[in-house]
Amino acid sequence: MLPLREHPQRRALAREAHARPYESLQAPVRVSHLALVTGEGGAGADHAHLSTLCEAEGVPTPPREAKHHAVDLGWGRLRWERHTEFSTYTFIVRGGFRDPFGEPPLAAVPRDWLAGLPGELLVALHLAMRPRTAPVPTLEELGEHLAPTAIAGSRVAGGAAYVWSDFRLHADGFGRILVHDRGLRGRQAGRLVQRLLEIETYRMMALLALPLARTHGPALAELDGRLAEVTARLASPGSLEDERALLTDLTAMAAAVERIGAETAYRFGAAAAYHDLVRRRIAELREERIPGLQTIEEFMTRRLEPAMATCRSVNARREEIAERIARAANLLRTRIDIALEEQNRDLLASMDRRARLQLRLQETVEGLSVVVLSYYLVSLVGYAAKAAKAAGLPLDPALATGFAIPVVVGAVGWGIQRMRRRLMREEGRRHP
């Protein structure tokens, strides 16, 4: 070992390259495959239930943090895999058979354990692989096990095997895949079986988004129509109250679109990821056409692609409506802001007019105040002059009063002006 500090996740990440190894299979072999949706928090329940079966069969239980576990049960082999939101249980039985789907491996699993599996069943599939020593079945023979009008098939793995399926649920509630070995090696056969099971599993997981698309598609169409009406009303000016009502409508529509986005974002994103996995697994089959049959890729193109296109279309429409609502709301807010600015401008102009009027009234009052104060002061001077004359001073009260008038008026006016200037300076310092 190098004298270096090791990253705590180094070994776990290195093991990821070898996680979920393929089984080594040899025809004839039969497989039963189940996929149950338990949600992102269902790993603990899946692990506990799997451990009960392992303990009952006397085989090792999975480690607590395991995402994959494969054990021999004596009568067959169990392969468990935990994915982000679902778990798969694959039961494998080796040995010859007469009817490929007459007695599937699942028949050997305890019924009470099957009944207690956590989650909701989404995928149930039987697969049978015929040996290379058996004759290749004809279309008539395939029609005994698959729906004759819906069979899809091809040569795969460079011509080393034939694969047929109708991608339908039969009377027992299971889908069926028939494989005919033409020269598969052990690991190659295991990879082929794993890819076929994953194609069906990921196909169904991707289709979980379709009901949501169908549910929310009409709601988005209604929102689109309401948005068109609001946009048309935006073209004609209205009162401030009308525009506030429009903004309320846009806010309600935005909330509805966000709610739909919250309900569909994860599912649509997961559907896109699962769809991509389906296409990759089909490409890994390296299909070659069998005359008279559609290939698995053609079946998926006709049956799965339209569903995924619907999901993409609904998601794109939701995003488009959200963007349009945002643009309309911004435009309406701008109009409301402009209307408020115009109102504020008018209010300020009115306040300015009132201030000028108040100033004029104030100046008028100041002039009257000068007259009144001057009148009383001149009267006081007249009384003082009369008193002085009565005291024997040689003073004419009328002349004294007359000469005092301009002096008193000037002094009073100068005093009031000085007082006003001082008040204005103090107000300026208080509110610069």
Residue entry with tokens 């488009």: 320
Last residue of a domain, one of 288, 313, 345: 345
User: What would the pLDDT profile of 25-71 be if each residue is shown by its tens digit?
Assistant: 999 999 999 999 999 999 999 999 999 999 999 999 998 888 899 99
Q: Which two tokens stand for residue 195?
A: 């890819």
Q: Kindly state whether residues 123 and 267 are assigned to the same domain.
A: no
**Does residue 297 come out as left (phi exceeding 0), alpha (psi in the -120 to 50 range) or beta?**
alpha
Per-residue pLDDT, averaged over 220-236, amounts to 85
| pLDDT computed for residue 283 by the predictor | 96
More confident residue, 282 or 3: 282
Looking at the structure, tell me whether residues 254 and 319 fall in a common domain.
Answer: yes
Q: Does some domain include residue 5? A: no
Q: Domain for residue 324, yes or no? A: yes
Q: Does residue 72 register a pLDDT over 90?
A: yes
Q: Which domain holds residue 136?
A: 15-186
Burial class (CB in 10 A: 0-12, 13-18, 19+), 382: middle
Grouping H, G, I as helix, E, B as strand and the rest as coil, residue 3 is coil
- Domain shared by 291 and 392, yes or no: no
CA pair distance 210, 208, nearest whole angstrom: 6
**Is 92 in contact with 79 (CB distance < 8 Å)?**
yes
Mean pLDDT in residue range 360-367: 68
In angstroms, the Cα distances linking 160 to 97, 127, 287, 294 are: 21, 17, 11, 19
Range with the lowest mean pLDDT among 5-19, 84-98, 102-116, 363-377?
363-377
195-220 average pLDDT score: 95
User: How many independent structural domains does the chain possess?
Assistant: 3
Nearest 5°: phi and psi at 172? -85, 0
Domain boundary among 186, 217, 239: 186
Please state, as a whole number, how many other Cβ atoms lie within 10 Å of the Cβ of residue 281: 21
DSSP β-ladder status, 68-72 and 175-181: unpaired
Closest residue by Cα to residue 86 from 117, 53, 127: 117
The neighbouring-strand residues paired with 141 are none
Lowest mean pLDDT among 73-77, 109-113, 147-151, 388-392: 388-392
The domain boundary residue, chosen from 294, 315, 345: 345
Residue 196 contacts residue 163 (beta carbons within 8 Å): yes
pLDDT at residue 430, rounded to an integer = 60
Assigned domain for 232 exists = yes
57 and 136 fall within a common domain: yes
242 with 298, same domain: the answer is: yes
Residues 319 and 371 in one domain: no
Instruction: Categorize the per-residue pLDDT at 300 as very low, low, confident or very high, splitting at 50, 70 and 90.
Output: very high
- Cα–Cα distances (Å) from 209 to 73, 280, 391, in that order, read 36, 19, 117
Position 377 in a domain: yes
173: confidence class by pLDDT, cuts 50, 70, 90: very high
**185-195 mean pLDDT:** 93
pLDDT above 60: residue 225: yes
Statement to judge: residues 170 and 219 lie in one domain:
no
Element (H, E) at 289: strand 288-289
Model confidence pLDDT, tens digit, residues 92-111: 999 999 899 988 999 999 99
Does residue 54 lie in a domain region? yes
Query: Does 285 reside within a domain?
Result: yes
Q: d(Cα 245, Cα 18) in Å, to the nearest integer? A: 61
Domain assignment present for residue 352? The answer is no
275 versus 8: which is more confidently predicted? 275
Give residue 365's pLDDT band: very low, low, confident or very high (50, 70, 90). Answer: low
Lowest-confidence region among 80-89, 115-124, 321-330: 321-330
Q: List for the chain the helix, strand, coil content (%; round to 5).
A: 60, 15, 25
Rounded to whole angstroms, how far apart are CA atoms 88 and 80? Answer: 6
Same domain, 23 and 172: yes
Pair 235, 88 in one domain: no
92 close to 119: Cβ distance less than 8 angstroms: no
Co-location of 380 and 341 in the same domain: no
Q: Are residues 328 and 367 in the same domain?
A: no
Residue 68 lies in a domain: yes
Q: Are strands 175-181 and 120-130 parallel, antiparallel or unpaired?
A: parallel
- Three-state DSSP at 36 gives strand
Cβ atoms < 10 Å from Cβ of 411: 14
Peptide linkage before 218 cis (omega within 30 of 0): no
Q: Would you say 234 and 324 are in contact if contact means Cβ atoms under 8 Å apart?
A: no
88 pLDDT higher than 80:
yes
List the alpha helices (DSSP H) in 166-239. Answer: 186-207, 209-234
- Mean pLDDT over each residue of the chain, to the nearest integer: 87
Q: Are residues 219 and 163 in the same domain?
A: no
Question: Rounded to an integer, what is the distance from CA 295 to the centroid of its chain?
Answer: 36
